[in-house]
């Protein structure tokens, strides 16, 4: 079975198409140092600006990366000339963009709509497309890495894997799982301390000191189920929800903003648990947070993650890929993921603890 599924609703303007994408360096070598991680983030952001895809969160580790990516459909009216040139400027030189701009002026001046359409088509096929986003990021980084390190050949172990993720609870949980990678690896005690992740960038600002895009992405990851968009101004409210999802309480350390962390706590503190006003809900969150400290195979190999209805819908959209014996798609989570059983479901029934 192919490692990748594409959301059957990928062209919907109301139902988000969100994917958790993962790839590893060939032979799982520890190839990413500080310079490499900064460069990889730069290429991800550049392609984000060009493609129209949006990173909800990410984490670049020593030998692999995770991206939680939303792929909105191309607008029905396409993109304007100005928008096309703006996007091209994200990944091309000024000279190249000027050449395309001149060509568009000539085509518009001659009222040659076919020529205009051809110019747009030359670039737009790479926009709002999961495969094109990932292919371009991986290829551009590989060229940079090989040139920098005087090597040739492939850098990646295999084709990237992706998991379709439902908006709302599943997206928030997946983002937290991704941002907790360096905590699980024992690299930091608090995910806010790791610079090359969505949460670390949201809190610390990244290389240029501006974490607005990272904050927008996490707001969207946390609230996409409530039709909240990329609204960075809601970060102060969302940050508390998100730290709770990761199992950390907000501290009171002087000099840290409302979005930042103080003393690390491995789970919710008593005050936060009581704040929920519903003991069962608080206990559920405690269990989910503990689960995220473990490696959850469903989150990387489950094909589709979300509510039972969501997974069954994806199954129906890809029915031809399964045997006639299989009647439905949703599979209950087991093993280290059992804390999410009944809340999140998987398309694949994995042998947990293997691989």
5 in a domain, yes or no?
no
Task: Mark whether 306 and 179 lie in a shared domain.
Answer: yes
**Is residue 131 included in any domain, yes or no?**
no
* pLDDT range class, residue 224, cuts 50, 70, 90: confident
Same domain as 257, residue 160: yes
**Band of the pLDDT at 253, cuts 50, 70, 90?**
very low
From residue 201, alpha-carbon distances to 100, 109, 163, 182 in Å are 34, 44, 23, 14
Q: Is residue 13 in a domain?
A: no
Instruction: Note whether 66 and 91 are same-domain residues.
Output: no
- The terminus-to-terminus CA distance of the chain in angstroms comes to 17
Write down the residue that tokens 């992405």 correspond to. 217
| Whether residues 219 and 105 fall in one domain | no
* Percent of residues, the chain, with pLDDT higher than 90: 64
Residue 351 lies in a domain: no
Say yes or no to pLDDT of 270 above 60.
no
Comparison of pLDDT for 54 and 278, the residue scoring more: 54
Residue 90 sits in which domain range?
Answer: 81-124
Crossing angle for the helix pair 94-109 and 113-124, to the nearest 10 degrees: 150
Verify that 223 and 295 share a domain, yes or no: yes
The residue count for the chain: 355
**Is 146 inside any structural domain?**
no
Same domain membership, residue 219 and residue 318: yes
Residues 238 and 97 in one domain: no
243 assigned to some structural domain: yes
Range name among 46-50, 61-65, 283-287, 300-304 with the lowest pLDDT average: 283-287
Residues 6+ apart with CB under 8 A from 332: 341, 342, 345, 346
Task: Take residue 126 and report the two structure tokens written for it.
Answer: 């790479």
Same structural domain, 298 and 250? yes
Between the CA of residue 340 and those of 224, 228, 249, 305, what are the distances in Å?
19, 24, 20, 11
Q: 203 with 294, same domain?
A: yes
Q: How large is the average pLDDT for residues 197-211?
A: 80
- Which residues are registered as beta bridge partners of 324? none
- Under the banding of pLDDT at 50, 70 and 90, the label for residue 13 is confident
User: In this structure, is residue 138 part of a structural domain?
Assistant: no
pLDDT of residue 266: 39
**Are 104 and 163 contained in the same domain?**
no
Q: Is residue 34 part of a domain?
A: yes
Same domain, 86 and 175: no
- Give me the number of domains the chain comprises: 2
Mean pLDDT across the chain: 86
Tens digit of each residue's pLDDT (9 = 90 or more) over 15-28? 899 999 999 999 88
Q: Note the pLDDT tens digit of each residue in 165-195.
A: 999 999 999 999 999 999 999 999 999 999 9
326 plus 266 within the same structural domain:
yes
């Amino acid at each position: 079975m192919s490692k990748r599924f594409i959301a059957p609703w990928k062209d919907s303007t109301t139902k988000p198409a969100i994917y958790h994408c993962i790839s590893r360096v060939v032979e799982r070598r520890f190839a990413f140092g500080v310079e490499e991680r900064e460069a990889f983030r730069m290429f991800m952001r550049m392609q984000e600006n060009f493609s129209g895809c949006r990173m909800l969160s990410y984490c670049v580790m020593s030998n692999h990366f995770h991206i939680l990516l939303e792929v909105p459909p191309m607008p029905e009216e396409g993109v304007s000339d100005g928008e096309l040139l703006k996007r091209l400027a994200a990944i091309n030189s000024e000279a190249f963009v000027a050449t395309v701009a001149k060509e568009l002026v000539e085509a518009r001046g001659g009222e040659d709509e076919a020529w205009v359409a051809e110019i747009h088509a030359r670039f737009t096929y790479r926009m709002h497309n999961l495969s094109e986003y990932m292919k371009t990021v991986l290829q551009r980084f590989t060229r940079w890495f090989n040139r920098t390190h005087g090597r040739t050949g492939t850098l990646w172990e295999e084709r990237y894997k992706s998991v379709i993720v439902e908006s709302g609870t599943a997206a928030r949980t997946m983002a937290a799982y991704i941002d907790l990678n360096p905590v699980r690896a024992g690299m930091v005690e608090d995910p806010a301390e790791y610079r090359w992740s969505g949460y670390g960038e949201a809190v610390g600002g990244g290389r240029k000191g501006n974490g607005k895009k990272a904050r927008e992405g996490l707001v969207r990851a946390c609230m996409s189920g409530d039709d909240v968009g990329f609204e960075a101004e809601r970060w102060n409210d969302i940050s508390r929800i998100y730290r709770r999802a990761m199992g950390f309480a907000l501290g009171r350390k002087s000099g840290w903003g409302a979005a930042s962390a103080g003393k690390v706590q491995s789970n919710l503190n008593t005050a936060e648990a009581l704040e929920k006003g519903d003991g069962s809900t608080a206990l559920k969150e405690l269990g989910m947070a503990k689960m995220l400290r473990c490696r959850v195979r469903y989150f990387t190999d489950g094909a589709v993650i979300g509510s039972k209805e969501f997974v069954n819908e994806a199954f129906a959209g890809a029915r031809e890929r399964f045997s006639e014996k299989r009647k439905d798609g949703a599979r209950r989570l087991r093993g280290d993921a059992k804390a999410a059983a009944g809340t999140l479901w998987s398309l694949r029934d994995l042998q947990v603890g293997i691989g």
